[in-house]
Structure formats: structure tokens, C-alpha cells
Amino acid sequence: MNLARVAAVARKEFLHVRRDPRSLGMAIAIPMLLLLLFGYALTLDVDKVPLAVWDQSRTPESRDLVARFAGSRYFDVRLRAEGYPDIERAIASREVIGALVVPRDFAARIATGLEAPVQFFVDGSDSNTATFALGYAETVARSWSREVVVRQAGLSGAGRPAEPLEVRPRVWFNEDLESKNYIVPGLIAVIMMVIAALLTSLTVAREWEQGTMEQLIATPVRPSEIVAGKLVPYFVLGMLDVFIAVAMGELLFRVPLRGSVALLFLLSAVFLVGALSMGMLISIMARSQLLATQLAMVLTFLPSFLLSGFMYAIANMPAPIRAASHVIPARYFVSILKGIYLKGVGLPVLAGEAALLSAFGAAVVLLATRKLRKTLG
């Protein structure tokens, strides 16, 4: 490979990017916009669930239970219902998501030591929010029930009852369970995969459509030098995007970065080579900018978003889908980013993912070179 010829092709591509503000906008502005949009809009945190309450007991005990729900950070009492029709109307209109119904004999059953069941309705049309709301309701009710048992035991002189099992939970790496802390690193991987492939998917196809590929074929530049030269400008832009994304995660979203920054950029560079080469391969095979753009979007965004473990746990997917996810490079980069950001692990832990990313990058570069050589021949 002649480095002078590679530099000449790279200089030509740099000039084209500089003279094409749309490419610069795609390379810099779109990743920032996507990170802002998804970073703020895409959240799995469920707080202040709108709640309706129908207190049929209207006793100090029932008011204490309702106050426990209203005072938690999980619920926001929006409606004091007077019957089931009010609850049905509020849930149907999305005014509330859940409803607490306290029966008339609630206080009497508490006083006699009997079980005092209450009803909790939840809107199941949003299964994710409903699951969280049910869990929150069980937690609040269990906490209140435990305090009642202790208080009654103290009044009877029996002392505090012993609990056979006590769970002391502790969360590692994301202590507050904030969804942005694992969504933002995953977003960086998905956005960089899509943008990188889109950028390079236009390079060779543009040459064919503008009629300049024939001139390039007539030169002594080898296919490997064309591929390398065209990758260089977009690699620089890609690394600039990584820097911007990391800065936004640190300064704007306050996502903790516990690992090595140098390792983060090193493995990002490895990932970028594979993503850019994949776009180049699409461009070589499509020969049409429109078709190349469409293929790049379909082959990068959907697999990276759905099968990388960014949004959905791979372990919960059917076996054929889990097997297919092994060929998605974003899967390994998402794992790397979460490991560096949240766990602070180093290369010994991430060596497997790094090796697979390197193998993917080398394989796609080789395939793009071979396809271009076949086309030129």
C-alpha cells in the first residue's frame, strides 16, 4: 500500500466533505440532535404515577395508608373518587394510571388483627408502567403493614416481632437506578453505528453517479488504497463525534465515567473502523446513493437498536434471535461502553468484546477491498 496515494485519496475526500455542508451537518449536528432527543425523551424511570383514591373507610387508619401513598415519590394522588365509575372514567381517559380502593371495614379488620385487603387497579395498556406501579404499590403497602404490626405488638406488650428473613438490597454501579446512566452509553453506540455507516455509504456510490469513478479507475491507485483513503476523513469526523458525545454525557447528562478515557477512545476507534467499512461496503455494492442510504439505515439502525442489548435484554430473546445478535457489532460496543462508563473495568475484562470488534472491522475492510477490486476488474 502506497501511503502517498492513500493521502491523495484522503485529501480529495476531505475537500469534498469541506465543500459539502450537508455532509458536515450529518456528521456533527445529527449525532448531537439524536443524543439530546433520545437522552431526554427515552427514559425508563417511572416516578409520580398518577393515582386515584377511593377511601370508603374514612378512618385514621385508612387516611394514614392513603397518606403513605401520597407522600411517596412514586405516586401522585390526582383524584379523590366517590365510586367505581369515577375510577373507570379516570383510567379510561388517562387522567390516572392506578387507583387505590380502601374498603369500609378496613379499620375494623386492622383492629381485630385480621387481614385487611385493599384493591389496587392499574392501567395495563402500558405494561411497562403498570409493572412498575404494581411493584411500587406492593412496596408501600408492605412497609405500612409492617409498621402496623410493630405498633400493635408494642401496644400488647409482646415486643417487636422477629422477622425470619431480612433482605438488605444494595445496587452496584448504578446506585440510584437512573435509566439515563445506561441509556446514554448505549445511545452513543447506536448513533455512531448509524451515522458512520450513513456517511461512508455515499462515497463510492457518489463517484459512480457523478462519473468520476472511471477517472479513479484509470489511476494507479489500488482498491485497498481507495478504501483506506476514503475512510480517513470520516474516521476523523467519527472520532470528533465520539468526543462530542462523551462531553455531552459528562457535562449535560451527568453520566458517571468511571473507567479509562483513553481506553474508551481506543475501542471507539476500533468500532468506527468496522462501522465505516460497513457503510463503504454498502456503497460499493449499491452504486446508488438513494439505495445505499436506505440499505445503511435498515442494516444499521434497526439491528443496533433492537439486538444490541441497548434497550432489550438479549438473554430474554428467543434462541434464534440471540444467535443472530452475535453478528451485530453494536452489541459488543454497547457492552464495552457500559463496562467503561458504569463499572470502570479495563481491557482484561473487555478483551473478548474488543477482539470481536477488531475481527469484525478487519473482515469488513477486507470484504470491501475485495468487492471494489472485483468491480474495478
pLDDT digits (tens, 9 = 90+) for 25-79: 767 888 888 888 877 777 766 778 999 999 999 999 999 999 999 988 889 999 9
Per-residue model confidence (pLDDT) at position 44: 67
**Top-confidence residue, 24 or 74:** 74
What's the pLDDT tens digit per position in 122-150?
998 877 788 888 988 998 988 888 888 77
pLDDT of residue 36: 85
Would you tell me the crossing angle of helices 223-251 and 3-19 to the nearest 10 degrees? 50
Cβ(100)–Cβ(69) under 8 Å?
A: yes
Please state the rounded mean pLDDT for residues 158-184.
70
Q: What angle do CA 291, 324, 230 make, to 5 degrees?
A: 40
Number of Cβ within a 10 Å radius of residue 43: 13
Q: Express each pLDDT in 175-222 by its tens digit.
A: 877 878 888 888 888 888 888 888 888 777 777 777 777 677 777 888
**pLDDT given for residue 374 in this prediction:** 47
- 220 burial level (CB within 10 Å; 0-12, 13-18, 19+): exposed
DSSP E strands, 144-279: none
DSSP line for 7-75: HHHHHHHHHHHHH-HHHHIIIIIHHHHHHHHHHHH------SEEEEEEESS-SHHHHHHHHHHHHSTTE
- Nearest CA-CA partner of 342 in 252, 257, 263: 257
Structure confidence by residue, pLDDT tens digits, 320-341: 999 999 999 999 999 999 999 9
Residues of the chain above pLDDT 70, percent: 93
Q: What is the DSSP letter of 161?
A: P
Tell me the C-alpha distance between 185 and 334, whole Å: 7
Please, which residues have CB within 8 angstroms of residue 218's CB and are 6 or more apart in sequence?
none
Q: Where do the domains of the chain lie? A: 3-43+178-376, 49-156
**How high is the pLDDT of residue 131?**
86
What is the reported pLDDT for 115? 83
In this structure, are strands 49-55 and 98-102 parallel, antiparallel, or unpaired?
Answer: parallel
Give yes or no for a contact between 335 and 353, defined as CB atoms under 8 angstroms apart. Answer: yes
Classify domain 49-156 at the CATH topology level.
abc type-2 transporter like fold (3.40.1710)
Best CA proximity match to 66, nearest among 107, 109, 111? 107
Report in angstroms the alpha-carbon separations of 275 from 76, 106, 123, 311, 352: 45, 62, 42, 20, 18
> What is the predicted pLDDT for the residue at 78?
92
Binning pLDDT at 50, 70 and 90, where does residue 159 land?
A: low
Residue with the larger pLDDT of the pair 203 and 84? 84
Identify residue 252 by its one-letter amino acid code.
Answer: L
pLDDT of residue 21: 75
- Of 268, 272, 276, 275, the C-alpha closest to 249 is 268
Across all residues in the chain, what is the average pLDDT? 85
pLDDT for 168 equals: 67
